[in-house]
Amino acid sequence: MARMRAGSPKFEDAMSSSSRVSVCVLLLTVLLATVHPTSAAVYKVTNAVPNTPGGKRFDQVLGASNMRKVLQDAANFCRGKAFSLSTPKQIATVTLIVESFSGVAFTAGDTIHLSAEYVAGYNPGDSAALRREITGVLYHESAHVWQNGDKGSGQFFGGVIEGIADWVRLRSGFAAAHWTRQRGGNWWDGYETTAFFLDWIQIIKKKNFVNLLNQKMGQAQWSNDFFRQIVGVSVDQLWVQYQNSI
Ligand SMILES: [Zn+2]
């Protein structure tokens, strides 16, 4: 120990200035990696019902390792692109569980639940269609894991939360087969109705709009006025303009 203490200052003194710069860059890299652990999250996939029709199809057609990769790709899309203006969420583990329930999927905290019944019943015999659909579902659910979703409540806030999740699915290239942009409904209906609206705003009115909206949702309690604050036009006026554009 004593030799190490005595030797360390000598080693530093002997370094050239360029070596010191290298050490500084290395330390900075380590520091940044600590502050923004972009690859630190662990992705886990558990099939809780491997002996059911859906559980078997999950293992045969989708596969745990492939779905782990989808979770990782979705996280990279969310953190690196869709929500990159916000402080990265500190999430240690994202878990996907395949289990038995009616419906499609839901997310609670950092855990995504996927219905084995949905996997079993979606386009039987068409493995490619199933892979595409479940990939899209996992992008939607991953958006819930990574988006700013805890500062609001009610139908407007809920509609935007689901709209942003489907926008992530849309813009990552995994839109559901049945989605079409069409007139009608309300801006707060959520899902693809709101997703197409947000996309129109981003293309026509304000670059990076969804990212800016998510950023605001992380800073303050939900307000419909966020639209006006970002775009300069109220959400109700934007909706009318959007409807007229279809
Ligand atoms: Zn959702």
**Is residue 1 assigned to a domain?**
no
State the residue range of the domain holding 241.
Answer: 154-245
100, 119, 146 - which closes a domain: 146
Q: Tell me the CA–centroid distance for residue 230 and ligand 1, in Å.
A: 24
pLDDT, one tens digit for every residue, the chain (246 residues): 333 333 232 323 333 344 444 444 444 444 444 444 455 799 999 999 999 999 999 999 999 999 999 999 999 999 999 999 999 899 999 999 999 999 999 999 999 999 999 999 999 999 999 999 999 999 999 999 999 999 999 999 999 999 999 999 999 999 999 999 999 999 999 999 999 999 999 999 999 999 999 999 999 999 999 999 999 999 999 999 999 999
Give yes or no: residues 190 and 208 share one domain: yes
The residue from 146, 168, 202 where one domain ends is 146
Residue written as token pair 């969420």: 89
* Contact between residue 245 and residue 199 where contact means Cβ atoms under 8 Å apart: no
Which pLDDT value is given to residue 134? 98
Is 193 inside a domain boundary? yes
Q: Which of the listed residues 128, 146, 164 is the one where a domain comes to its end?
A: 146
Which H, E and C letters describe 215-234, residue by residue? HHHHHCCCCCCHHHHHHCCC
Per the domain annotation, does 24 fall within a domain? no
The model carries a pTM of: 0.84
- Are 96 and 192 found together in one domain? no
Answer whether residue 71 is part of any domain: yes
Q: Look at residue 40 in the predicted model and tell me its pLDDT.
A: 73
Task: Quote the ligand 1 centre to 107 CA distance (angstroms).
Answer: 7
Cβ count within 10 A of residue 194: 23
Q: What is the Å distance from ligand 1's center to 33 Cα?
A: 30
Residue 204 lies in a domain: yes
Q: How far is the CA of 214 from the centre of ligand 1 (A)?
A: 15
Judge whether 212 and 85 are in contact, CB under 8 Å.
Answer: yes
Residue with tokens 């109705």: 193
- Same domain (yes/no): 56, 123: yes
Residues, CB-to-ion distance under 5 Å, ligand 1:
162, 165
For residue 10, which amino acid is it? K
Number of domains in the chain: 2
Task: List the beta bridge partners of residue 43.
Answer: 94
In terms of domains, do 135 and 227 share one? Answer: no
163 with 195, same domain? yes
